[in-house]
Structure 1
């Protein structure tokens, strides 16, 4: 290797080290780290057998614990992603059923509405065309030549019965 490439590698390594050091400093301050480092060093010097036991336990247990934690996290992520994909699939299937049903129900509702409007308009037209429709005072010419006069009472309010109608029969001949 050339000196130029070695200096670039060392420069990159220093950059990675300083970046890592900054990130650690953000999480744990250097003073706190130094305090805990001193406490561990004092414990190792005062009780070397207990420290060696704890260190060996941590050394041999760290890998299985890390694997278990990574397995648990990846299983949770896999379950979450699977649940989302499963839900999206069945929501899509439900939409394939819902859209045609909504189209049919919307069409039926429009047809019923059009039928109701048409029935109302035709019924109103027929009612207005009938010779016996009540639109105020009215005279009806009967086939036998008699004339029937219907007069609505003016002060009767909005009555729907026949209580507010006064019927008078006239004997006058009707001429065409």
Structure 2
């Protein structure tokens, strides 16, 4: 009793799934056309049925072979791609660390140079003010630079910071 109920439930489930794909009217029409064809031409119908019966298994096996070959090729291509992606990442990551380190060093050098030059300029201004030197920036037709005028002592002289 339990087995027959399970079988009936399975048949009902299968019938509902088939109804979702092909409507009962379409199935009834195909069944009626097939039985009419079998009644009108029994020899041709028997020939086609024999061909379908004996050719269906090899056709299904071939279709499964094609599908499995496609899936294998897709899987192999995916694994090949992932392998070379890993190899390239193994090269890229250390390269990025090295170039990032070089970039940080260049930035630190530039900032340190800027701070040192700014400090040195401040020190030179302090020394110039204490010793009677005058530092002036000029932006004439000459290059940007620092002109140092030495005052006092034996004659005035000019030192141009841009023309060493």
TM-score by length of 2: 0.78
Please report how far the alpha carbon of residue 99 of structure 1 lies from its aligned counterpart in structure 2 after TM superposition.
1.0
Query: Could you tell me which residue of structure 2 aligns to residue 52 of structure 1?
Result: 46
Secondary structure, counterpart of 2:149 in structure 1: strand
Query: Could you tell me which residue of structure 2 aligns to residue 105 of structure 1?
Result: 99
Please report how far the alpha carbon of residue 36 of structure 1 lies from its aligned counterpart in structure 2 after TM superposition.
0.7
Q: 1:89-104 to 2 correspondence within 5 Å?
A: 89-104=83-98
Residue pair 1:139, 1:147 contacting (<8 A) in 2 also: no
Secondary structure, counterpart of 1:117 in structure 2: helix
In terms of Rg, which structure is larger?
Answer: 1
Please report how far the alpha carbon of residue 19 of structure 1 lies from its aligned counterpart in structure 2 after TM superposition.
0.7
Task: Say which structure, 1 or 2, has more relative contact order (CA 8 Å, 6+ apart).
Answer: 1
Residue pair 1:140, 1:147 contacting (<8 A) in 2 also: yes
Query: Could you tell me which residue of structure 1 aligns to residue 135 of structure 2?
Result: 133
Q: 1:22-61 to 2 correspondence within 5 Å?
A: 22-61=16-55
Secondary structure, counterpart of 1:133 in structure 2: strand
When the two chains are superposed, the root-mean-square deviation of aligned CA atoms in Å is: 2.4
Distance 1:135 1:116 in 2: 22
Distance 2:156 2:19 in 1: 110
Residue pair 1:142, 1:148 contacting (<8 A) in 2 also: yes
Query: Could you tell me which residue of structure 2 aligns to residue 65 of structure 1?
Result: 59
Distance 2:148 2:13 in 1: 104
Distance 1:139 1:15 in 2: 105
Matched residue count: 143
Show CA shifts across 1:38-75 (max 9, x none): 00000000001111111111111111110111111111
Distance 2:101 2:87 in 1: 22
Residue pair 2:150, 2:157 contacting (<8 A) in 1 also: yes
Structure 2: tracts of 5 or more residues without a match: 129-133, 139-146, 159-164
Structure 1: tracts of 5 or more residues without a match: 1-6, 150-176
Residue pair 1:44, 1:51 contacting (<8 A) in 2 also: yes
TM-score by length of 1: 0.73
